[in-house]
């Protein structure tokens, strides 16, 4: 079973407008939706859609936290979240005529001792794998993640910001930075796939068995001790990039849960991500055809020859 931990979840509010935003002018939304957001929650939703056993935990508080609880009650997995007093974040995404705008809150005020409550839930769930995803509330630091990795005999994957990624001290099974997070974690400039793969290899040596890199329009890579795998993106109409990295990671983790090769796992991740970006909002799209899309993903190993 894969347990996800989201210390700083959110209500994702997505609206669409047909104009370009202008200061002082009221813009009327043509579409709106509310979703339970946060990297760990997103990963559990995708895993469940892929028929992988999962559960989700983390911190929820206030009226927005209750809304997330109500949404998660309809999901096909358990979600034993820890309650906090301050309200869970409300994050906004605006799809406008000239592009996509995102507005994310920092998160609620919490007592650092709440990590003990999360660890109690994690230990009780007895997962085989754990995914810790997203940002941290202002009062928490990297130790809140390291303690989870050290607390039991499970593989821990992290999907966090680059600055936070560079401050982790435990050993991890995997991490999933995007291009900007990888650059922040390594201090490198990354302008090409080759530079991304080299930076991922450097990051891997700091305490990660595998590094999965989401490269947006350039595809994705998976770096391990003996493989440097790269997959270009699948051609699709991009409607929304929210959750694309979570979709990629979910597909990769599902592949490993099923015992597939790293190449097959990366191909599945790219296939799931391609379905995610073709769907507006952060809800999970229909994944019925994901196997056929996976067959179209061309994964190459750049361990040998020109890089």
- Give 24's contacts (C-beta < 8 A, 6+ positions apart): none
Strand partners, 213: 221
146 as an active site residue: the answer is no
| Annotated catalytic residue within 12, 146, 240, 246 | 246
pLDDT computed for residue 248 by the predictor: 95
The C-alpha atoms of residue 91 and residue 245 are separated, in whole angstroms, by: 17
Q: What is the residue-level pLDDT of the chain in tens, covering all 307 positions? A: 999 999 999 998 989 999 999 899 998 999 898 988 899 999 999 999 999 999 999 999 999 999 999 999 999 999 999 999 999 999 998 989 998 898 999 999 999 999 999 999 999 999 999 999 999 999 999 999 999 999 999 999 999 999 999 999 999 999 999 999 999 999 999 999 999 999 999 999 999 999 999 998 899 999 999 999 999 988 877 776 667 899 999 999 999 999 999 999 999 999 999 888 877 666 787 888 888 989 999 999 987 544 4
The span from the CA of 159 to the CA of 40, in Å, is 9
Question: What are the CA-CA distances from residue 210 to residues 93, 98, 201, 217 (Å)?
Answer: 31, 37, 9, 22
Q: What is the DSSP string of the chain?
A: -EEEEESS-EEEEEEE-SS---TT-PPPPSEEEEEEESHHHHHHHHHHHTT--EEEEEEEEHHHHHHHHHHHTTSSSB--PEEESSPPEEEEEEEETTEEEEE--------TTHHHHHHHHHHHH--SEEEEES---TT--THHHHHHHHSSSSEEEEE--HHHHTT--S-EEEE--BHHHHHHHHT----SHHHHHHHHHHHHTTTEEEEEEE-GGG-EEEE-SS-EEEEPPPP------TTHHHHHHHHHHHHHHTT--HHHHHHHHHHHHHHHHTSSSSSPPP-TTHHHHHHH---EE-SSS--
CATH topology for the 2-301 domain: 3.40.1190
Q: Quick one: pLDDT at residue 152? A: 94
Q: pTM for this one?
A: 0.91
213 phi, psi to nearest 5 deg: -115, 125
pLDDT of residue 306: 44
């Amino acid at each position: 079973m894969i347990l996800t931990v989201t210390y700083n979840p959110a209500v994702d509010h997505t609206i669409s407008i047909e104009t370009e935003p202008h200061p002082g002018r009221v813009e009327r939304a043509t579409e709106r939706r509310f979703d339970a957001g946060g990297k760990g929650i997103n990963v559990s939703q995708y895993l469940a859609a892929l028929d992988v056993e999962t559960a989700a935990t983390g911190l929820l508080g206030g009226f927005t936290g209750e809304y997330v609880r109500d949404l998660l009650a309809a999901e096909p997995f358990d979600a034993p979240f820890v309650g906090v007093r301050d309200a869970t974040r409300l994050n906004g995404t605006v799809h406008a005529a000239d592009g996509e705008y995102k507005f994310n809150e920092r998160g609620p005020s919490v007592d650092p001792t709440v990590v003990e409550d999360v660890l109690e839930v994690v230990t009780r769930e007895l997962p085989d794998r754990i995914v810790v995803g997203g940002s941290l509330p202002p009062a928490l630091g990297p130790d809140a993640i390291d303690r989870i990795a050290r607390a039991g005999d499970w593989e821990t994957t992290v999907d966090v910001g680059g600055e936070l990624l560079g401050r982790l001290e435990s050993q991890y099974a995997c991490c999933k930075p995007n291009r900007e997070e990888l650059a922040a974690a390594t201090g490198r400039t990354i302008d090409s796939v080759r530079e991304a793969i080299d930076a991922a290899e450097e990051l891997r040596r700091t305490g990660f068995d595998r590094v999965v890199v989401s490269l947006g329009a350039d595809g994705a890579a998976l770096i391990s001790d003996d493989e440097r795998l790269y997959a270009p993106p699948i051609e699709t109409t991009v409607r929304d990039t929210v959750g694309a990295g979570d979709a990629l990671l979910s597909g990769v983790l599902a592949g490993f849960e099923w015992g597939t090769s790293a190449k097959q796992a990366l191909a599945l991740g790219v296939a799931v991500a391609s379905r995610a970006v073709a769907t507006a909002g952060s809800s999970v799209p229909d994944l019925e055809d994901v196997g056929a899309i996976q067959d179209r993903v061309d994964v190459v190993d750049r361990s040998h020859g020109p890089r």
